[in-house]
Amino acid sequence: ISIEYVILRHLHMELKSPFTTSFGTFQTKELILVEAVDCDGVSGWGESVAFSAPWYSEETVKTNWHMLEEFLVPLLFSEPLRHPAELPERFAAIRQNNMAKAALEGAVWDLYAKQLGVPLYRLLGGTKREIEVGVSIGIQPTVADLLQVIERYVAQGYRRIKVKIKPGWDVDVIRDVRRAFPDVPLMADANSAYTLADAKRLQALDEFGLMMIEQPLAADDLIDHARLQALLETPLCLDESVRSYDDARKALELGSCRIINIKIGRVGGLEEARRIHDLCLERGVPVWCGGMLEAGVGRAHNIAITTLENFTLPGDTAASSHYWERDIITPEVEVQGGLIRVPDAPGIGYDVDRRQVERYTQFAKLFHC
């Protein structure tokens, strides 16, 4: 894979409406777009999913830029590359910083697929022609607001509703949601807002038939989650706690969860994501693709990985219009009847809209090989 140069761009995009989790509220999304260009002028695209502040994990947009500029791009250029699947080993010299690694790896995967003239999803071994999606709904000012928002997304056909919870916004809220929508596939995501001392409170959620409770306990924990899972009927799903194949293996061995949310950025790239998928398939554990409020490039990568067979639960990859006035890809990602049609063009399958990218770019830097 001949890569002539890499461009990093720092973008600012306004979310249509603020998104609140147990750890904070997002209004502006800062992100890094990675463009890898070959000698024929073909571009591959990747997107860093790190946030402005280290709430979800320790990575931020600025630490990602630092890692890419000082370490990862130089490693990419350090010797010839035959296949994108070689990158995790090359990047292993750098500890963690998974979202920075994934952004660059993603650009190389897209470029490689375009060089071969095949869709990225096929290169990854995906087979699905359409994927099922759900929507993640932030904490709202009141329960009445929440019910209204859910109503809208149910009407749009989303295949499951995810509600964010935290202590004080949990059992009563879920009870009201269940009463209003008795049959909707429903789940709750706590983003690490609880400890084992809250086990009784979480047990009280069992009666609402949730598909799963996502990441109730600490972001680095597997042991306490295993204890909690033994006390609950509702399946636990891990997000923050699974950053690698080995984390996933240990979680399954300990019984820390019965479902895994795979985020490409959190686990360090498409190759690691695929390995976790394969492990879960082998163990009979379903997975789904999480979201990080991505712009179009990150969203396209999520759609590609979701075509793998064991992504059997609806993901958080909602439509572009759920997040943005105007996304950075054409066509934008559309959801119809809760489904996204997977595009068949080479690479990520969507064109990057350079006019929009320009509009959102704060600064950019080019790195020659």
- Residue 361: CB minimum distance to Mg ion, A: 28
Q: Stretches 113-121, 144-152, 288-296, 355-363: which one binds ligand OSB (CB under 6 A)? A: 288-296
How far is the CA of 254 from the CAs of 89, 226, 231, 288, in angstroms?
Answer: 27, 6, 14, 20
| Cα–Cα distance, 25 to 355 (Å, whole number) | 28
**Residue 56 interacting partner from Mg ion, ligand OSB, none (CB closer than 5 to 8 Å by kind):** ligand OSB
Q: Are 139 and 349 in contact (CB under 8 A)?
A: no
Annotated catalytic residue, options 29, 101, 164, 166 = 164
* Residue nearer to Mg ion on the CB measure, 48 or 241: 241
Nearest alpha-carbon partner for 65 in 38, 95, 43, 97? 97
User: Which residue minimizes CB distance to Mg ion?
Assistant: 239
* Residue nearer to ligand OSB on the CB measure, 36 or 150: 150
User: Residue 163: which H helix or E strand, with range?
Assistant: strand 161-164
State yes or no: 214 annotated in a binding site. Answer: yes
User: Residue 311 forms beta bridges with which residues?
Assistant: 287
Q: Stretches 205-213, 247-255, 287-295, 327-335: which one binds ligand OSB (CB under 6 A)? A: 287-295
- Residue 55: CB minimum distance to ligand OSB, A: 8
Of 11, 316, 329, 333, which lies in the binding site for ligand OSB, with binding defined by CB under 6 A? 316
- Residue 74: CB minimum distance to ligand OSB, A: 30
User: Residue 207: which H helix or E strand, with range?
Assistant: none
- Residue 324: CB minimum distance to ligand OSB, A: 12
State yes or no: 221 annotated in a binding site. Answer: no
Q: Are 327 and 293 in contact (CB under 8 A)?
A: no
Of 44, 291, 296, 346, which lies in the binding site for ligand OSB, with binding defined by CB under 6 A? 291
- Annotated catalytic, 164? yes
Q: What is the DSSP letter of 352?
A: E
Q: Are 124 and 302 in contact (CB under 8 A)?
A: no
| Cα–Cα distance, 203 to 355 (Å, whole number) | 50
- Residue 75: CB minimum distance to ligand OSB, A: 28
Q: How far is CA 108 from the centre of its chain?
A: 18
* Residue nearer to ligand OSB on the CB measure, 110 or 239: 239
**CA end-to-end span of the chain, whole Å?**
12
* Residue nearer to Mg ion on the CB measure, 84 or 291: 291
Of 174, 187, 292, 340, which lies in the binding site for ligand OSB, with binding defined by CB under 6 A? 292
- State which of positions 248-277 bind ligand OSB (CB under 6 A): none
Q: Are 300 and 271 in contact (CB under 8 A)?
A: no
| Cα–Cα distance, 246 to 159 (Å, whole number) | 30
Annotated catalytic residue, options 29, 101, 162, 263 = 263
One-character DSSP codes across 74-91: HHHHHS--S-GGGHHHHH
Q: What is the DSSP letter of 333?
A: P
| Cα–Cα distance, 352 to 340 (Å, whole number) | 18
* Residue nearer to ligand OSB on the CB measure, 6 or 222: 222
Using rule CB under 6 A, residue 189 touches ligand OSB: yes
Using rule CB under 6 A, residue 239 touches ligand OSB: yes
DSSP, collapsed to helix, strand or coil, labels residue 273 as helix
Using rule CB under 6 A, residue 44 touches ligand OSB: no
Q: Are 329 and 153 in contact (CB under 8 A)?
A: no
Q: Stretches 99-107, 223-231, 286-294, 334-342: which one binds ligand OSB (CB under 6 A)? A: 286-294
Convert residues 145-184 into a mask of x (bound to ligand OSB by CB under 6 A) and - (unbound). ----------------------------------------
User: Residue 40: which H helix or E strand, with range?
Assistant: none
| Cα–Cα distance, 241 to 252 (Å, whole number) | 12
State yes or no: 189 annotated in a binding site. Answer: yes
DSSP, collapsed to helix, strand or coil, labels residue 255 as coil
Of 104, 318, 319, 329, which lies in the binding site for ligand OSB, with binding defined by CB under 6 A? 318
Q: Which residues are annotated as a binding site for Mg(2+)?
A: 189, 214, 239
- Name the residues that contact ligand OSB, by CB under 6 A: 21, 56, 136, 189, 191, 239, 290-293, 316, 318
Give the residue numbers annotated as catalytic, written as ranges: 164, 263
